[in-house]
Amino acid sequence: MTQRQSARDLGLAPGILPPGPLNALTDVPGVRVGQVTLRRGSGIRTGVTAIVPDAVDRAGGTLPAGLFVGNGFGKLIGATQLVELGAIETPIVLTGTLSAFRAADALVTYLLALPGNEGLVTVNPVVGETNDGYLSDIRARPVTEDDVLAAIQGAVTGPVDQGAVGAGTGTTALGFKAGIGTASRQVRLPGGAPCTVGVLVQANFAGTLTVGGTRISPDLALPGAVEPGAAAALAATGKPAEPGTEPNSCMIIVGVDACLDSRQLTRVARRAVFAMARTGSDFTAGSGDYAIAFATRAGAPVPEDHLGPVFAAAMEAVEEAILNSLFLAETTTGYHGHVRQAVPLGYLVRACRATASPADRPPGTGL
C-alpha cells in the first residue's frame, strides 16, 4: 500500500504563513478533538468527530461563535440559535447525515450529566453532517449514544488523525476518497498580538481537485477506475454509482485564539467557505457547505482593521486541511461493493511538477 502523506510532507502546502506546532485545530489553546471510527462488515464506513473547546465542557460555559452558510442543503442542528445568540454552549459533533439526530440527543445526554447542570432544562446541541451514503449503509444509522460520548470524552490535545477516520470514514470529495483534515496558521495582528487559527474539515463535496492551480481529474489520474465527474464514478465491480450518491457538502470548524465577537467570527467563517473554491469545489446545488468559527480568548473585540491576517490564516488553513483530508485518506471499499479511490500521490506530484514554473518550486520538495 502506498504510504499516504500530507500536503506539507509532499511540499504542496498552500500559502506563506507558518503553521502551528501540530498544524492542527488543536494548536488553538484549550481545544481538543476526539474521534470514533466505525468499520463493520462490508457496509458500515462512518463515525464521529467531536471538537471540544474547554470553555464549553463545563456547566454554563459558552464561547462567541459565528456561522456562514455557503449553501444550506444540510442538517446543521443548532444553527438558528447559534446565529441568534452568537455563541456555542456545547462541543461540536460531526457525523453522517442520518446519524446527526441521534448524535444531537447523545450530546444533550452529555451536557445534562455535567456537574453543575442538574437544573438544566434547555441546551443547544451543535451537530454537523455530510452524507456518507455511497460507502456506508446510511439507513442503518449505526452511530450510537456510546459512540458520541466516547468521541467527546476521548477528546485530547495533540496530533489529530486525518483521512478516513471519524466522521470522515465514509466521505468522498472531488472524485476521490476524502475524510477529516486539519491545519493551522500562526499570525501576528497589527500591534504585535500573536494569534493562532486552527481548522478542521469534514470533506465530502464535488468538483475537480485543484492543487496550487493544477487540476487533478480522476479520469486522468485513475484511468479505467473513475470516469469524469463524481456521479459517474465506477466501483471496482464495474457497477455505476447509484443516483443521489454524488459527493456533497463540507463542514468546516475554525478556532481562533483572539478576542473576536460573533459578527467578526461570521466574517471569518465566510472566508473559510470561500477557501473551498481554491481546492476545486463546484458548490453544486445539492451541497451543504457550512463553516462555524469560534474564539477562545475573552476580552474586547479586536479592531476591524486587524482582521486581515486572521482572514488570510483561515483561508490558507482551510485549503491545506481539505488537501490533507484527501492526501491522507486511503482507498475504501464499502456498501454494496462501492469503491472510492485515494488520490494517487505519485501522479499528483508529477502533475504539479509539470505545471509549476521554476520560481514556484519550493526548494527541497522535488517539484
Query: 287 catalytic, yes or no?
Result: yes
Query: 249 catalytic, yes or no?
Result: yes
Q: How far is CA 325 from CA 114, 126, 205, 289, 298, in A?
A: 33, 22, 12, 16, 31
d(CA 309, CA 205) in angstroms, rounded, equals 27
**Which of 6, 184, 281, 287 is an active site residue?**
287
Of 201, 337, 358, nearest to 278 by C-alpha is 201
d(CA 34, CA 49) in angstroms, rounded, equals 6
Is the Cβ–Cβ distance between 182 and 201 less than 8 Å? yes
Q: How far is CA 24 from CA 188, 324, 327, 361, in A?
A: 18, 11, 15, 25
Is the Cβ–Cβ distance between 50 and 226 less than 8 Å? no
Q: How far is CA 78 from CA 93, 100, 234, 326, 354, in A?
A: 11, 11, 36, 28, 46
**Which of 249, 262, 281, 325 is an active site residue?**
249
Is the Cβ–Cβ distance between 49 and 168 less than 8 Å? yes
d(CA 184, CA 200) in angstroms, rounded, equals 9
Intra-chain end-to-end CA distance of the chain, in Å:
23
| Residue 359 neighbours by CB distance under 10 Å | 5
Q: Give the CA angle between residues 51, 306, 72 to the nearest 5°.
A: 45
d(CA 185, CA 45) in angstroms, rounded, equals 31
Query: 217 catalytic, yes or no?
Result: no
Backbone angles phi, psi at 321, to 5 degrees: -60, -40
Concatenated DSSP letters of 179-224: -EEEEEEEEE-TTS-EEEEEEEEEE---B-EEETTEEE-HHHHSTT
C-alpha grid cell for residue 36? 470514533
**Which of 147, 281, 289, 325 is an active site residue?**
289
Tell me the catalytic residues. 249, 287, 289
